[in-house]
Amino acid sequence: MQKGPDPAPLLDVRGLAKSFGALRALQDVDFTLRAGEIHALLGENGAGKSTLIKVVTGVFARDAGIVRLDGAEIAPRSAKAALDCGIATVYQEVNLLPNLSVAQNLFLGRQPTRLGVVRQAEMRRRATALLQEFGLHIDVAAPLGNYSVAVQHVTAIARAVDLSARVLILDEPTASLDRHEVEILFRVMRQLALRGIGIVFVSHFLDQVYEISDRITVLRNGRLIGERETASLPRIELIRMMLGRELAETTGERVAAPAHGAGEACVSFEGYGKAGTIAPFDLTLHHGEVVGLAGLLGSGRTETARLVFGAERADSGEVKVEGRAARLHSPRDAVAYGFGYCPEERKTDGIIADLTVRENIVLALQARRGLHRPLSRGEQDEIAKRFIELLDIRPPDPERPIGLLSGGNQQKVLLARWLATSPRLLVLDEPTRGIDVGAHAEIIRLIREFCDKGLALLVISSELDEIVTYSDRVVVLRDRVHVEQLQGDAIDVTNILAAIAADGAARGAAS
């Protein structure tokens, strides 16, 4: 469907760049939003979606590039300034106040007053009328926190639009909504688009993207991959844009040793799952084997890892460690069985920034030994020195606070922390996230090396070519189900993409 000869863009972003230290979060990104369109912004974790949004809305300052709204250049310095320009953002975590009434939330700071006293009845009347425009008929005097997330989202949107927003950015608005609530939200979005408001829709639910959006922009690793009309973009092509490089580049790179599958079973799960989190799965990890978990964001990769590590408690199935029945009710249990877990959010869940490299390395080992058997300083120094050499951690100074190291070296320290406990199974969630290319290759090499020594590894990564490179086996997830296991020569990017896109491909092409 054509909307006339390329209407002038409402929001026009050119050549945007943003770095955090050595990490280039955005490089030369263009983004165009027309009035009255719903534009999906897609990409995996770390692709740069949030950074783009935060630069446009003034939360971060940009390093380079131009942002134009209606042809005029803007450079908001804060979310408030962006709002004053007419750019409003509604985040997945609703940025409203659950302890205030719905009406107060809609009109906070601009309540109708008479002689300094808020006219409660008038405010309620206006709030009711405003929400009715969006198809919500609720008691606006009740606290916002009493209502569902969908109502809170619509309230946030209503406030933004009532503040005369022309660009509305919805960041993962549907993540915690059920089907019916998504319908409500989509109806509101279509209505606003008809009024000429430009909507940026960030989501990892591809079905929803195909249902609601007019155009799609895909980012990967901070770069613009492409901008397409939704109607003419097959789903498998979209997934390829999000996950893979060109196929030709990746196929030759496999370094995984082929025959590892025959090693002894280390840990095996049968019918293991948790209702509402991940469907029951069977998974056997052998000694010396790397198993990759592939799938889109939200497909259940991290959930699987958390279940394996006992961070979530399974409500069905059994687990066996070295052939004997085991119980994984908490990370403590998992550590006792010799499991290790490097989480995705290195900064918040992994490193302890103020402690030194040495202290970070011995942390898990000390925890395993218990507080009554402290490691002597000599032992600590010895262990730290060994791993700093082994993993080539730079600078090789065990007494430096880990927060001062680069991302790649922090990741190595985390690896060292678990390796020091001589684990049986190590779970790595996005081990190469936010790491520059050189360190990237090194981490992959290290992964292979440790495996050859008999360790079992479960690795999550959004980079398909990376998974293909080091995995002996790849488990593909879709919509919180383990849909396929690929082994040996079957492991290549094309097959993984096909498995991820399997059920949606037909629908995507048909629409």
Binding segment toward another protein, per CB under 8 A, in 117-125, 311-319, 323-331, 483-491 = 117-125
> Smaller CB distance to another protein: residue 111 or 284?
111
> Smaller CB distance to another protein: residue 99 or 487?
99
Tokens at 169, concatenated: 């950015």
- Structural contact between residues 367 and 350, judged by C-beta atoms closer than 8 angstroms: no
Spatial distance between the Cα atoms of 188 and 277, rounded to a whole number of angstroms:
29
> Smaller CB distance to another protein: residue 105 or 409?
105
| Per-residue DSSP letter, 454 | T
- Structural contact between residues 25 and 52, judged by C-beta atoms closer than 8 angstroms: no
> Smaller CB distance to another protein: residue 61 or 97?
97
What's the min distance (Å) between Cβ of 189 and another protein? Answer: 19
> Smaller CB distance to another protein: residue 19 or 120?
120
What's the min distance (Å) between Cβ of 248 and another protein? Answer: 41
Tokens at 181, concatenated: 């609530």
| Per-residue DSSP letter, 348 | I
> Smaller CB distance to another protein: residue 103 or 212?
103
User: x/- binding map, residues 244-283, to another protein, per CB under 8 A?
Assistant: --------------------------------x-------
> Smaller CB distance to another protein: residue 101 or 230?
101
Binding flag, residue 178, another protein (CB under 8 A): yes
Binding flag, residue 451, another protein (CB under 8 A): no
The total of other beta-carbon atoms located within 10 Å of residue 97's CB is 13
- Structural contact between residues 420 and 361, judged by C-beta atoms closer than 8 angstroms: yes
List all residues 6 or more positions away from 367 whose beta carbon is below 8 Å from its beta carbon.
335
80 burial via Cβ count (<10 Å: 0-12, 13-18, 19+): exposed
How far is residue 296 from each of residues 44, 94, 213, 464, 493, measured CA to CA in Å?
Answer: 7, 24, 19, 10, 13
Spatial distance between the Cα atoms of 13 and 62, rounded to a whole number of angstroms:
11
> Smaller CB distance to another protein: residue 108 or 129?
108
> Smaller CB distance to another protein: residue 179 or 324?
179
> Smaller CB distance to another protein: residue 176 or 495?
176
The total of other beta-carbon atoms located within 10 Å of residue 273's CB is 23
Residue position matching structure tokens 């997934």:
239
What's the min distance (Å) between Cβ of 297 and another protein? Answer: 17
What's the min distance (Å) between Cβ of 145 and another protein? Answer: 7
Choose, by CB under 8 A, the member of 171, 172, 181, 492 that binds another protein.
Answer: 181
> Smaller CB distance to another protein: residue 163 or 498?
163
Q: How many residues bind another protein (CB under 8 A)?
A: 27
What's the min distance (Å) between Cβ of 86 and another protein? Answer: 14
- Structural contact between residues 393 and 425, judged by C-beta atoms closer than 8 angstroms: no
What's the min distance (Å) between Cβ of 40 and another protein? Answer: 23
Binding flag, residue 118, another protein (CB under 8 A): yes
Binding flag, residue 139, another protein (CB under 8 A): no
Q: Which has the closest alpha carbon to 87: 30, 21, 166, 16?
A: 166
What's the min distance (Å) between Cβ of 29 and another protein? Answer: 24
Interactions with another protein, residue window 73-112 (CB under 8 A): 79-80, 83, 95-100, 104, 108-109, 111
How far is residue 34 from each of residues 9, 52, 166, 299, measured CA to CA in Å?
Answer: 4, 17, 11, 31
- Structural contact between residues 79 and 57, judged by C-beta atoms closer than 8 angstroms: yes
| Per-residue DSSP letter, 148 | -
What's the min distance (Å) between Cβ of 111 and another protein? Answer: 5
Interactions with another protein, residue window 140-159 (CB under 8 A): 145, 148-149, 159
> Smaller CB distance to another protein: residue 145 or 280?
145
What's the min distance (Å) between Cβ of 417 and another protein? Answer: 32
What's the min distance (Å) between Cβ of 76 and another protein? Answer: 13
Q: Which has the closest alpha carbon to 222: 51, 14, 440, 20?
A: 51
Q: Which has the closest alpha carbon to 351: 342, 25, 438?
A: 342
Binding segment toward another protein, per CB under 8 A, in 115-123, 305-313, 394-402, 404-412 = 115-123
* Alpha helix segments (H runs only) across 163-282: 179-194, 206-212, 235-243, 247-250
Choose, by CB under 8 A, the member of 113, 132, 251, 422 that binds another protein.
Answer: 113
Tokens at 167, concatenated: 């660009």
Binding flag, residue 17, another protein (CB under 8 A): no
Residue ranges in contact with another protein by CB under 8 A: 79-80, 83, 95-100, 104, 108-109, 111, 113, 116-118, 120, 145, 148-149, 159, 176-178, 181, 276
